[in-house]
Chain A
């Protein structure tokens, strides 16, 4: 039998000190295996190394110096994980899996960058990513998501691509397939070129004002889903909220932190904390699950930053997912008109697992008269979207998308409700592939529709 011992002795690349996955967290895992059945990649593959317990075991092996960051299995598994954190929600020992996964990814990225550093005594490093990947990560993480004006311009040009007939041509000609972009291209949201630009607008409460809240406009939510922002604002107004869109805010940094670019995430976190400070609002409302969970973890992200940590703690205490907020106040049910709809609910991972918000979205849906909620099987099993996962792990993403939509369709519901842009795009993409005319909507859109009939 050949084991790793038989392989030529190449030096192992250990975890470096910066953003090291916490040994304490890793050792909180007692290997009980209760997480296995909740893990989408384990359910799809049945492979132990593709389970949370297996992945923590691999992290432990690197932590204890038995394998190094160069391990192909380690890298593959850190990438294949969806970071859906279903395991975290069921772990009896409370292992903070997301934190050690994101740190492990950061370690891999750091080791890749180390080989580019001109130091005379270079630290052991992984081969750098190919130039095009570095360039792409640079453009995406440090360019597009770092500058919302740039992001909106990009988004508008994509809208042009869709509306000018170039998309039609690209799809018909087979050029996308040649470029290997066919799968990715179907995920492109339909864009209108409109965008929600936060410039300090204040939308007054309808009726007596009960709360003052600020809204995170974010990146893709402010472009492809700007209509969801409009719905969110109207629903909040209906519920006695004055809604402020503070200027200078940006992307929440979820893609950076999930992708191993923790410093990039920190930069965006600081910017948002500054943008939302001093408003005196009761809550900072987020209508995208992934952004909400990222923002609730700013304090952890900045725990080593003496200047910002305290401000982060104060910021986090105000962050509320829109469903969490609406279910926590006395909901205006007086103005809700009946919607005769059958709806099934797809739970975004970063709502159900990372924020443990499961009852509130359902109670809001059920507050709409006439709406019939049909529960689907495996409602909280990841749909496979998971940020940029569609691009990094297209095969697993597509398998999980198929599984999710099959579960949704077998309820017979005509609408799939969700609360996150990634999930919405994944569902729409899969439904389009199948030629199903089932619609995908955010919960706030349905609430808005129930309110709006009156006016």
Chain B
């Protein structure tokens, strides 16, 4: 299909203003929150209804064009970047909260609803949507579902997959399906579980029943300062080992503190090598005892100071600093590469030491701000993209972090997904058999590889090839 015809057809489906076709306008869609890999879609379309999405998908299938779903484009692995051209479907105009069903503890919404605004909307009902990625002020629930996103409070409340009861999805032939009836544990295969975290490669989610989580009666926040990151990480693994369960355990290192200290008026001292943000929540009774037990562990691990956030405003300030830390990296360098890996909590101190070594080896600063309670690291490699050597070293440093994490018994993604950024590292973690099984699953949803191609599966080993390999019995192909 010729491009002008394609654009005309799309305009007929979503209206004149729902189609972006100007090359200069399309430039602004060439990356998501990760600017290392860029690619331009042929056209961007902004539907408002499931029916429109279905019509767009049928058109793409007819034209043989790839489809790339995009939420707010805050992802950090290139998951919403059009690596092979095609049609980008933005959920920006599918931003309606359709039904709050308090009696069944669930809310129905479109994928473009902003995570934070959903929780704000639910507040008067006494509920929240618990997954709270750091980008929650801008990111969408559709993106959260695609990436099975986490967030600071997932330590206690669980990641997105624990909060999705069912999704409506448009498949590659335009069919609209529901993964369940929106009840917590429907019979049959757990399609909701399979779709959550599929990074837009199975289809486009057009609505979802999400779980309501009651707002805690009380919340306490303290910031414990340590001379170095080792003390902070040891504290975290001891807190968990002793059976205590705070709502969040977050670490920021010296560089990260430097980035946010001024803007968020934290007034943290220079000598602090690490700050551990601790939040406990629940019923008022017993909360102070829990906090006391946690802070006792901080002191035993050489804390310099433990500062409580006394008012709601102070708590908001501390959390704003933590959640905006990655966005604040522009104060330190023009580009960052945020690596998202997980290691067993007991391996945190050693792994962080290795990250420090990698920083020195490649001569690039690395800031750390991470979900310590989950063992989920976020080393942020700082560089200038316009400098070719720095660019190369940043990629090598990231690769180093991934290798170390795997050596320590960890995995290559905590919550940001694989996208383009980490697809080639999949072979470090998964055997060909593993990948072929995943490819087989993918094929059953999207047999012609229309949805978000070039993601998750290693380059040159597209899921088509892997699936074919699986059908032919993996003859002699063992990784």
What is A's interface to B at a CB cutoff of 8 Å? 1-4, 7, 27-38, 42, 45-49, 51, 53-54, 57-58, 61, 66-67, 71-74, 90-95
Quick one: given A31-B33, A36-B72, A47-B46, are A58 and B24 in contact (CB under 8 Å)? yes
Whether A37 contacts B114 by the Cβ 8 Å rule is: yes
Quick one: given A2-B3, A94-B263, are A34 and B74 in contact (CB under 8 Å)? yes
Whether A72 contacts B73 by the Cβ 8 Å rule is: no
Least CB distance, B64 to chain A, in whole angstroms: 14
Interface string of B390-414 (1 = CB under 8 A from A): 0000000000000000000000000
When the two chains form the complex, which single residue of B32, B90, B95 contacts A33, counting CB atoms closer than 8 Å? B32
Q: How far is the CA of A7 from the CA of B24 in the complex (A)?
A: 12
Please give, as numbers and ranges, the residues of chain B lying within 8 Å of A91 by CB-CB distance: 327
Least CB distance, B25 to chain A, in whole angstroms: 5
Give 4 nearest A-B pairs by CB, closest first: A93-B330, A46-B92, A92-B327, A92-B324
For the A-B complex, the count of residue pairs with Cβ-Cβ distances under 8 Å equals 120
> Can you report 28 residue pairs joining A to B where beta carbons are below 8 Å apart?
A3-B40, A4-B23, A4-B24, A4-B27, A7-B23, A28-B330, A28-B331, A30-B335, A32-B74, A33-B32, A33-B138, A33-B139, A34-B135, A34-B327, A37-B116, A38-B137, A46-B46, A46-B93, A47-B25, A47-B46, A47-B92, A49-B24, A58-B27, A61-B24, A72-B22, A92-B263, A92-B326, A95-B330
Interface string of B96-140 (1 = CB under 8 A from A): 000000000000000010101100000000000000000101110
Whether B330 contacts A73 by the Cβ 8 Å rule is: no
When the two chains form the complex, which single residue of A29, A33, A45, A90 contacts B330, counting CB atoms closer than 8 Å? A29
When the two chains form the complex, which single residue of B17, B23, B27, B138 contacts A37, counting CB atoms closer than 8 Å? B138
Least CB distance, A120 to chain B, in whole angstroms: 32
* Residues of chain B in range 127-180 having any CB-CB distance to chain A below 8 Å: 135, 137-139
Whether B42 contacts A32 by the Cβ 8 Å rule is: no
Instruction: Give the one of B117, B263, B325 with max A CB within 10 A.
Output: B263
Quick one: given A1-B42, A34-B138, A92-B324, are A54 and B28 in contact (CB under 8 Å)? yes
Quick one: given A30-B336, A32-B135, are A92 and B27 in contact (CB under 8 Å)? no
Least CB distance, B8 to chain A, in whole angstroms: 15
Chain A: which residue is nearest B384 at the CB level? A27
Chain A: which residue is nearest B75 at the CB level? A33
Please give, as numbers and ranges, the residues of chain A lying within 8 Å of B260 by CB-CB distance: 92
B328: interface (CB < 8 Å): yes
Please give, as numbers and ranges, the residues of chain B lying within 8 Å of A46 by CB-CB distance: 46, 90, 92-93, 95, 112
Please give, as numbers and ranges, the residues of chain B lying within 8 Å of A48 by CB-CB distance: 25, 28-29, 44, 73, 90
Please give, as numbers and ranges, the residues of chain A lying within 8 Å of B24 by CB-CB distance: 4, 49, 58, 61, 67, 71-74
Q: How far is the CA of A27 from the CA of B46 in the complex (A)?
A: 29
Whether A32 contacts B327 by the Cβ 8 Å rule is: yes
B216: interface (CB < 8 Å): no
B334: interface (CB < 8 Å): yes
Please give, as numbers and ranges, the residues of chain B lying within 8 Å of A53 by CB-CB distance: 28
Whether B46 contacts A57 by the Cβ 8 Å rule is: no
* Residues of chain B in range 49-89 having any CB-CB distance to chain A below 8 Å: 72-74, 85
When the two chains form the complex, which single residue of B23, B33, B93, B117 contacts A32, counting CB atoms closer than 8 Å? B33
The bracket for how many chain B residues form the interface is: 35 or more
Whether B114 contacts A93 by the Cβ 8 Å rule is: no
Quick one: given A3-B40, A67-B24, are A92 and B117 in contact (CB under 8 Å)? no
Chain B: which residue is nearest A57 at the CB level? B28
With A30-B330, A93-B331 already in contact, 12 other A-B pairs whose C-beta atoms are closer than 8 Å: A3-B23, A29-B330, A36-B72, A37-B116, A47-B20, A48-B28, A49-B28, A61-B24, A66-B27, A67-B27, A72-B22, A91-B327
Whether A94 contacts B330 by the Cβ 8 Å rule is: yes
B35: interface (CB < 8 Å): yes
Please give, as numbers and ranges, the residues of chain A lying within 8 Å of B27 by CB-CB distance: 4, 57-58, 61, 66-67
Chain A: which residue is nearest B93 at the CB level? A46
Please give, as numbers and ranges, the residues of chain A lying within 8 Å of B23 by CB-CB distance: 2-4, 7
Least CB distance, B407 to chain A, in whole angstroms: 30
B208: interface (CB < 8 Å): no
Please give, as numbers and ranges, the residues of chain B lying within 8 Å of A71 by CB-CB distance: 24
Whether A92 contacts B85 by the Cβ 8 Å rule is: no
Whether A93 contacts B328 by the Cβ 8 Å rule is: yes
* Residues of chain B in range 1-52 having any CB-CB distance to chain A below 8 Å: 3, 17, 20, 22-25, 27-29, 31-33, 35, 40, 42, 44, 46
Please give, as numbers and ranges, the residues of chain B lying within 8 Å of A47 by CB-CB distance: 20, 25, 46, 92
Whether A35 contacts B92 by the Cβ 8 Å rule is: no
Least CB distance, A6 to chain B, in whole angstroms: 8
Least CB distance, B284 to chain A, in whole angstroms: 26
B329: interface (CB < 8 Å): yes
Least CB distance, A410 to chain B, in whole angstroms: 14
Please give, as numbers and ranges, the residues of chain B lying within 8 Å of A33 by CB-CB distance: 32-33, 72-74, 135, 138-139
Please give, as numbers and ranges, the residues of chain B lying within 8 Å of A51 by CB-CB distance: 28
Whether B73 contacts A34 by the Cβ 8 Å rule is: no
Please give, as numbers and ranges, the residues of chain A lying within 8 Å of B33 by CB-CB distance: 31-33
Please give, as numbers and ranges, the residues of chain A lying within 8 Å of B327 by CB-CB distance: 30, 32, 34, 91-93
Least CB distance, A48 to chain B, in whole angstroms: 4
Whether A31 contacts B31 by the Cβ 8 Å rule is: yes
Whether A27 contacts B73 by the Cβ 8 Å rule is: no
Least CB distance, A85 to chain B, in whole angstroms: 15
Q: How far is the CA of A53 from the CA of B330 in the complex (A)?
A: 13
Whether A37 contacts B72 by the Cβ 8 Å rule is: yes
Please give, as numbers and ranges, the residues of chain A lying within 8 Å of B17 by CB-CB distance: 45
Whether A34 contacts B28 by the Cβ 8 Å rule is: no
Chain A: which residue is nearest B321 at the CB level? A92
Instruction: Give the one of B24, B29, B260 with max A CB within 10 A.
Output: B24
Chain A: which residue is nearest B260 at the CB level? A92
Q: How far is the CA of A395 from the CA of B307 in the complex (A)?
A: 50
Whether A37 contacts B3 by the Cβ 8 Å rule is: no
Q: How far is the CA of A47 from the CA of B17 in the complex (A)?
A: 10
Interface string of B212-241 (1 = CB under 8 A from A): 000000000000000000000000000000
Q: How far is the CA of A67 from the CA of B26 in the complex (A)?
A: 12
Chain A: which residue is nearest B17 at the CB level? A45
Least CB distance, B275 to chain A, in whole angstroms: 16
Instruction: Give the one of B22, B28, B32, B93 with max A CB within 10 A.
Output: B28
Least CB distance, A362 to chain B, in whole angstroms: 13
When the two chains form the complex, which single residue of B32, B35, B138, B329 contacts A93, counting CB atoms closer than 8 Å? B329
Please give, as numbers and ranges, the residues of chain A lying within 8 Å of B331 by CB-CB distance: 28, 93-94
Chain B: which residue is nearest A377 at the CB level? B120
